Amino acid sequence: MGHLTPALSPDSQQAVRELLQEGESANTQRSYQGALRYWAAWYALRYGGAAALPWSPPVVMQFIVDHAQRATEQGLSHELPASVDAALVAAGVKAKPGPMSLNWLIHRIAVLSKSHQMAGVSNPCEDPLVRHLLSQTRRAYAKRGQLPVKKDALTKAPLSALLASCDDSLQGRRDRALLLFAWASGGRRRAEVSSADMRHLKRVGEEAYTYQLAFSKSNQSGQDRPENDKPIQGEAARALTAWLSAAGITSGPIFRRVLKGGRLGDGLSAAAVRDIVKKRCQLAGLDGQFSAHSLRSGFVTEAGAQGIPLAQTMAMTSHRSVATVMGYMRTQTEQARAAANLMDADLEPKQG
């Protein structure tokens, strides 16, 4: 097969425009666009035409079995033909040949479902057979021990190692302030860090700030909530003051590019925030899988380990669901370890 240039149908193009109008972050927009490009390219190779909405449930089921591995007598297998796989790689919509992760598959299905919802057409992802197949696929991966991969948490100890890698240069001061701002204010997402602006930062006394998180993933309508104001205190406040003073920032983006000669550039992108976290992890010599989201899971995990009430943790992270915030726990908390040691606890009754 020759080089493939995937093209979205008019319906899919309209779905993309509507998705982008929702006010999602730039990172989410790129994620949606990449997923839809892959869907279009796969459909063109599998069915020989442009992918027009709505899709039928059998097409979605074909996509699932093409990309989900299953156990056979010959070992793990999936249905994506090698020629189609090679063409997808040649088209630049797939990084390398071979099966994809369960996370990847679930994300692609979610994006297809969203595109149908926004187009106002029948959603094949809600078909009972499709839902059952996806549910059983998750279960099959779980039985094989192939759970969705979660990044490691940057709790207090590894975060301290990252901070130790930050010197007193302008870039070092920025990175130190960024890491502490993101972590100590509740584990901010990278898009929230890159969009942090001086107009939302308020000085409180000599060594403290509050940052008003006017827009977030959990508050996309910008509702005025008490938990919108995130306290920045102690070491995090001192690092922020040092950065703002050294950089001379009084308005605009809080975290910016540092150019040659110590000149300031534009505000950081969400991708740059991710790169800073990864760079500092590498400089600190940390082993594990870390990303910008490790700051968020690290904050939640550390709060649990230190016995912070869940309600207080959720007020900082802005989570609205207990189940969601608990999903960020990466290690056993002190309470969990205590519960696991019930048999070893002092069984002597207390004297009244």
For residue 256, what is the domain's CATH number?
1.10.443.10
Same-domain status, 202 and 239:
yes
Specify whether 81 is located in the same domain as 168: no
Contact 54, 116 (CB under 8 A): yes
On whether residue 4 sits in a domain, the answer given is: no
What's the mean per-residue pLDDT of the chain? 83
- Band (pLDDT 50/70/90 cuts) for residue 306 is confident
pLDDT in tens, 117-162: 888 899 999 999 999 999 999 998 888 876 656 678 888 999 999 9
pLDDT for 1 beyond 50 = no
Indicate whether 164 pLDDT > 70: yes
- Residue 207 domain flag: yes
Q: Extract the tokens encoding 108.
A: 């692609």
Whether pLDDT at 337 is above 70: no
pLDDT band at 17 (very low <50, low <70, confident <90, very high): low
Shared domain for 160 and 129, answered yes or no, is: no
Res 256: pLDDT: 96
Residue 47 lies in a domain: yes
167 and 282 within one domain: yes
> Of 85, 114, 143, which residue constitutes the final position of a domain?
143
Q: How confident is the model at residue 293 (pLDDT cuts 50, 70, 90)?
A: confident
325, exposed or middle or buried, with CB in 10 Å at 0-12, 13-18, 19+?
buried
In the predicted structure, residue 216 carries a pLDDT above the cut 70: no
Residue 349 scores a pLDDT above 70: no
Per-residue model confidence (pLDDT) at position 19: 61
Residues 57-72, mean pLDDT to the nearest whole number:
93
- Do 15 and 75 lie in one domain? The reply is yes
Per-residue confidence band for 59, with pLDDT thresholds at 50, 70 and 90: very high
Which pLDDT value is given to residue 291? Answer: 85
The model's confidence at residue 80, banded by pLDDT at 50, 70 and 90, is very high
My answer on whether 182 and 265 are in the same domain is yes
Q: Which residue has the higher pLDDT, 328 or 206?
A: 206
Q: Is the peptide bond before 148 cis (omega within 30 degrees of 0)?
A: no
The CATH number assigned to the domain holding 108 equals 1.10.150.130
Least confident of 55-69, 98-112, 310-324: 310-324
Range of the domain at 138: 10-143
Q: Is residue 310 part of a domain?
A: yes
In a domain, 341, yes or no: no
Is residue 24 scored above 70 in pLDDT? no
Q: Across residues 267-296, what is the average pLDDT?
A: 90
Q: Is residue 29 part of a domain?
A: yes
Determine whether 332 is exposed, middle or buried from the number of CB atoms within 10 Å of its CB (0-12, 13-18, 19+): middle
Count CA within 13 A, CB hemisphere, residue 127.
Answer: 19
Interval 186-215: pLDDT, tens: 889 888 999 999 999 999 988 899 999 865
Same domain, 79 and 170: no
The rounded distance, in Å, linking the Cα atoms of 289 and 281 is: 10
Note whether 105 and 187 are same-domain residues.
no
For the residues 32-54, what does the mean pLDDT come to?
89
Count up the domains in the chain and report the number. Answer: 2
Quick one: pLDDT at residue 298? Answer: 87
Rg (CA), the chain: 24
Mean pLDDT, rounded, for 39-45: 93
The answer to whether residue 345 scores a pLDDT higher than 60 is: no
**For position 197, what pLDDT does the model report?**
94
- Tell me whether residue 195 is in a domain: yes
Q: Are residues 174 and 134 in the same domain?
A: no
Q: Give every CB contact of residue 38 below 8 A, 6+ residues apart in sequence.
A: 6, 88, 93, 94, 108
Q: Which pLDDT score, from 0 to 100, does residue 12 have?
A: 73
Residues 204, 324: one domain? yes
Task: Tell which of 143, 178, 210 closes a domain.
Answer: 143
> Mean pLDDT throughout 48-63?
92
Q: Would residue 345 count as lying in a domain?
A: no
Same structural domain for residues 162 and 30?
A: no
pLDDT for 261 equals 86
Q: Which pLDDT value is given to residue 219?
A: 47
Q: Are residues 163 and 276 in the same domain?
A: yes
